[in-house]
Structure 1
Amino acid sequence: MYTAAPDDKVALRLQRALTGSYAFTRELGGGGMSRVFEARETSLGRTVVIKVVSAEVAAGVDADRFRREIQVAATLRHPHIVPLLSAGEADGILYYTMPFINGESLQQRLHQTGPLPVSEVVHLAEEVADALDHAHRHGVVHRDIKPANILLEDEHAIVADFGIARAVRQAAGHGQTMLTATGLVLGTPHYMSPEQGGGDELDGRTDIYSLGCVMHEMLAGSPPFEGHTAQQIILQHFVKDPPPIPRDDVPEALRQVLARALAKDPNQRYASAAEMRNDLRSLETRHLPPSRPATLTTRELGSSARTPTPSMPTSGPIDSLAVLPFDSPAAGTDDEYLADGITESILNKLTRVSGLRVVPRSVVFRYKRREIDIPVVAGELRVRALVTGRVRQRGQTLHVSAELTDALNEAQLWGDRISRSAEDIFAVQEEMAAEIVKSLRLRLSAEEKQELMRRYTEDSVAYRAYLRGRYQWNKRTRDGFLRAIGHFQEAIDRDPSYALAYAGLGDAYNVLGYYNYLPPRESYPKAKAAAMRALDIDEALAQAHASLGYTRLFYDWDFRGAEASFRRAIELDPTYASAHQWYAWCLLVMRRMDEMIETMRTALQLDPLSLIINAHMGYALFWAGRFDEALEQLARTQALDPEFALTYWPLGAVYVWQQRTDEAIAAFQRLVQLTGDTIGMGYLGITAGIFGRPEVTRDVLRRLEAAAKERYVSPLDRALGHAGLGEVEETFRWIEKAMDERVSDLVRLRVLPWPAAVREDPRFEEVARRIGLGAA
């Protein structure tokens, strides 16, 4: 009989709660997300394993949903899958049970014997692949294939913990933030596919990659990649080729199976576990000799040795990098906007180089004024190399230094210190971009060389004004947008042919109109004029086409024209994430939901840490009716920045449709609190009203009326408030005023939470028709 230590609160609570159902025999160990106990199930007299979900994970998991989700995996029945018997909660502790397997794990076997005979590797891998095939065909991806989860009984492989990672993830809700942070959902770094390490959507091919890592370890005695930290290991999955197996008894056909399973690109791997199983089965039927487990020396192991050297060998050409924010002496100085501008300029130039993946601005600028550990940051950003630098200006002399570093071995590939006249800022940026490309040994086409040297203005004063404008724009505040307009206009006054400055001006006026910082009839026409002027100067400027599309969508209500503008912008610059993001809005209005999701997903892939794109991805999933996925996405957005106000807009919308009253009201209250403005007040008003909190709605209407005496307030916010109180006539009076003022949010008329009395009024469909939204 197992007796828990007096200070082991988890074991004591679990034993007390399960007394009568299970008699605990011993603790078997555990790790990651669980502790493991052997017990006797008293009702059936059988020996089982009880796995306890750790407290830090259980705190973010809904127990009822965990049980429901685990039922999916419990339906799996296969000779090489350990079945799940039950799942539950006992005194606040989540647990699940499975049969006791009388055997060791593959991890224990490898620890005891080292590398396995080739025939045994093929045999075990074929059985695991067969188990994966069965699970994948039933919609279950394991997500954590590793030696510890492969049990050996009578020389056969049996895979444990199928569906557990998925059940925890699905049941987490907003605990997703914590789960990702602890690495429990991500898997185990040594066996993690590149897409899993990057937090991308997963399918069965991630398990195929993990099985490839396990096969490598069975053959070589260690996983393909090692490192001192999880980040170092994950980085190698992205950028480094697996080391060759240093054994002469491994047939070429098996090496090919391994290479295909370990392809970085999921599309280059086996399309299914069945296909991989068949190849392994074909190998097994060739009567592979039961060769002895090879004894490998440290010299033979090379980079597979357990203790990696600080300097890792490079592998193949460098095809991914991040340009980190150049350092400047102090925040708020001219040096800072210059440093930011030079960083962004070099980044944009390198983005144009085919075959080179460059991390977008919104991602790298999170590292501004942070201590940089090269391997750690490269691992977080999934890149092979980093560009770092410093900017100082003394009088009329500009001092810029920069370095290009290979993250695998921290070797400096290029570095330079440049001191030039401040007038030569263009040449400084061009030289650095060219030297970086040269150091990476990339071959440029004639067009790419031209893009690398492209200047939108020859006037350095105009350029500096433009950089100040972008610096203010990137603050993404009302004051920042207004200041940006002044700087963009200053740049235009210096150089009336500066197309990029006109595009910036258009973007600023668009956003001021969209968020009702300025009346739409004041801001949008100015945005359109600026975008049109930019295109008169340079028809091939993607930013200007996207800016024009924005105005056509939210002000002109010319949805076909907006689509044409966005498509042209994407054609000119497929890497421009905002163009994809705004195009997704356009597709929503035209009710092309599948295209909307894919387009927003593309925007997110291009700019994965953009807060606004992450929040809008959640909105897109909400509009498509995929509420659970929307909540997961919004939890990820909150993990990036819990203070980002616009996350709470779609979050509140999901809660409204799920009838989660208190949470919906709290989300919109948080939105209003964080913006410190009228943004979101209308949504708070209608939500509180329809959920029986009219006092909150009346307070919202009073605050909107008071605010309107000082600044522009959207009539649609008042319409929403009156709708929450059931005041239909007042609702339509304010909707008509919103129509007259061309309020942006009217394009979302159909997805707003109007009560039935408003939706069923004939005037509602008439308004939709006038906007161009088509029949219901």
Structure 2
Amino acid sequence: MQGELIDGRYRLETRLGGGGMGEVWSALDTRMLRPVAAKLVHAVPGMDTTQVEHRFMHEVRSAAALPHRHTVTVHDCGETLLAGRRYLYLVMERIDGETLANLFRGATPVPWYDVAHWGGQIATALSAAHKLGIVHRDVKPQNVMLTATGVIKVLDFGLAKFLGETLRVADLTVTGTAMGTFAYMSPEQCRGDSGIDHRADLYSLGCLLYEGLAGHPPFTNAAPHALLYQQVHEQPRPLPAGRAPAGLTDLVMHLLAKDPAHRPPDAATVVREVDRLLAAHRRPPHQPPAPAPGGATELDRLRAEAEREIAELRERATRDVMAVRAAAQQHAAARRQEADELFEETRTKAAQAASDFETALARRREQSERDIALRQARAEKRLAEIEHRAEQLRLEAEELRTDTERRARQTLETAQGQAVDILADANAKAERIRAMLAQLTGAEPSTPDRELPGRQSKG
């Protein structure tokens, strides 16, 4: 499908990935000349097309109404036909960065403070979504990207709910099975409970943080049913000792509570706890080695004093660094809401500017079309003045503004016939002039003066 156009506007460039229900492509918005990402969702065969598209548009528009620094800007959505197959499409901003899935599987472990910082940004996006009644339902490392500027972006808001409801309506899922990724699904999703709320996203966030700290999700099993059983009935193993501060490991285990009522009440609570942990963290002071038994030589004493001074300098530097980091994190936390509000305001203004530009562009396009139609009408009117059916062609030219392509072809054929008449008339006049010249000069005309069959010569 490379090179094909979606809705005559978005040109597919490179396939970035895909799954059972769709594909993701890098694309170019040929109208705005900007890079975008296009998610193509396979339409479900046998279902009512209007109903599915309506549900898709509703969920995507609800998610698009979530202007936030840690979510992806949605530009467009709709339905299209590509390579003979029907797709629902979602066009969004293209993000340069890495998914957390790739970062978690890197050669070196991710520092715990990065995992916590990313988790706080994810929770910030979830908090904004939950306030609007939007539950993600598929929070996982593959759906979270870290941009080149260090900002977390949560992907696919609204799609998990749409896919789950659509598949159930189409009877394509086993009764009681929820849509999602088993390794990160909450117990209530695994059971297929009704009324899934925002606390399911908190459990999935706990699975993501657990993987960032341990290097693997809390439960891993190649058999899907066994994995579902673990999510519902088993407790995850404790996180590796010393991998992260106790406060962070406690928060992760709190998020992984089987009963939604035993988890944090909301994502905003998680954000506050992460900010507190990052701001309050201090490394234990360095302890100098004990003196050697039996006394120490002068060199040993000097070495011990030097080591103590180095230890003190290291401890002081560590305290200074942590103090600066804590102050920076506190400042960032204090400015986060202000930045989010500014971002939302900017995004709203940008959306309005884009809408105004589209409206102005449409008006200019309409004016250009009217100008083209006017010039065409004037040209045809001029041709009608030359031909003997001037009045009829003038009326036909006026009707061309609203007539169909069939009328345009008919008018063109009529014009061509009239041009033949004019040519025949000119030839006849030329013959008469030759005859007159021949009479005046006394020579015989080169060709007899005759009229075209079926046409009367004009004098």
The TM-score with structure 1 as length reference comes to 0.34
Match of 2:158 among 148, 163, 175: 163
Structure 2 counterpart of 1:23, which letter?
R
Match of 2:205 among 211, 234, 241: 211
> Which structure exhibits the higher relative contact order, with contacts defined as CA atoms closer than 8 Å and separated by 6 or more residues?
2
Structure 2 residues not aligned, in runs of 5+: 284-459
Secondary structure of 1:158's counterpart equals strand
- 1:604-628 CA distance string (max 9 Å, x none): xxxxxxxxxxxxxxxxxxxxxxxxx
Q: Please name the residue that 1:195 is paired with.
A: 188
State the shift of 1:114 in Å. 5.0
Q: Contact 1:104–1:152 (CA<8 Å) still a contact in 2?
A: yes
Structure 2 counterpart of 1:203, which letter?
D
Moved more, 62-71 or 34-43: 62-71
Structure 1 counterpart of 2:6, which letter?
L
Compare CA radii of gyration and give the structure with the larger one.
2
Q: Please name the residue that 1:344 is paired with.
A: none
Matched ranges for 1:527-566 at <5 A: none
State the shift of 1:277 in Å. 1.2
1:26 and 2:14 aligned? yes
Q: Please name the residue that 1:174 is paired with.
A: 169
- 1:312-352 CA distance string (max 9 Å, x none): xxxxxxxxxxxxxxxxxxxxxxxxxxxxxxxxxxxxxxxxx
Aligned residues: 275
Q: Contact 1:58–1:93 (CA<8 Å) still a contact in 2?
A: no
Structure 1 counterpart of 2:63, which letter?
A
Structure 1 residues not aligned, in runs of 5+: 1-10, 290-776
Match of 2:59 among 60, 64, 69: 69
Q: Contact 1:48–1:100 (CA<8 Å) still a contact in 2?
A: yes
Q: Please name the residue that 1:79 is paired with.
A: 69
Q: Please name the residue that 1:51 is paired with.
A: 39
Matched ranges for 1:414-429 at <5 A: none
Q: Please name the residue that 1:519 is paired with.
A: none
Structure 1 counterpart of 2:119, which letter?
A
Secondary structure of 1:52's counterpart equals strand
Matched ranges for 1:17-416 at <5 A: 18=6, 20-56=8-44, 62-91=52-81, 92-113=86-107, 115-153=109-147, 154-170=149-165, 174-175=169-170, 177-179=171-173, 186-200=179-193, 201-287=195-281
Seen in structure 2, the aligned counterparts of structure 1 residues 27 and 56 have a Cα distance that, compared at 3 Å, is: same
Distance 1:89 1:163 in 2: 16
- 1:682-723 CA distance string (max 9 Å, x none): xxxxxxxxxxxxxxxxxxxxxxxxxxxxxxxxxxxxxxxxxx
State the shift of 1:179 in Å. 4.6
Distance 2:42 2:191 in 1: 24
Distance 1:218 1:147 in 2: 9
Secondary structure of 1:96's counterpart equals strand
State the shift of 1:209 in Å. 0.2
- 1:463-500 CA distance string (max 9 Å, x none): xxxxxxxxxxxxxxxxxxxxxxxxxxxxxxxxxxxxxx
Q: Contact 2:60–2:159 (CA<8 Å) still a contact in 1?
A: yes
Q: Contact 2:118–2:152 (CA<8 Å) still a contact in 1?
A: yes
- 1:138-193 CA distance string (max 9 Å, x none): 01000000000000012221100011112334556722x2155796x521000000
The TM-score with structure 2 as length reference comes to 0.56
Q: Contact 1:219–1:245 (CA<8 Å) still a contact in 2?
A: yes
Secondary structure of 2:74's counterpart equals coil
- 1:339-384 CA distance string (max 9 Å, x none): xxxxxxxxxxxxxxxxxxxxxxxxxxxxxxxxxxxxxxxxxxxxxx
Q: Contact 1:25–1:39 (CA<8 Å) still a contact in 2?
A: yes
Q: Please name the residue that 2:335 is paired with.
A: none
State the shift of 1:240 in Å. 1.1
Q: Contact 2:7–2:80 (CA<8 Å) still a contact in 1?
A: no
Seen in structure 2, the aligned counterparts of structure 1 residues 229 and 151 have a Cα distance that, compared at 3 Å, is: same
State the shift of 1:20 in Å. 3.4
Moved more, 112-121 or 56-65: 56-65
Structure 1 counterpart of 2:214, which letter?
A
Distance 2:46 2:33 in 1: 29
Matched ranges for 1:352-751 at <5 A: none
Distance 1:143 1:234 in 2: 16
RMSD over equivalenced CA pairs, Å? 2.3
Q: Contact 1:62–1:173 (CA<8 Å) still a contact in 2?
A: no
Secondary structure of 1:25's counterpart equals strand
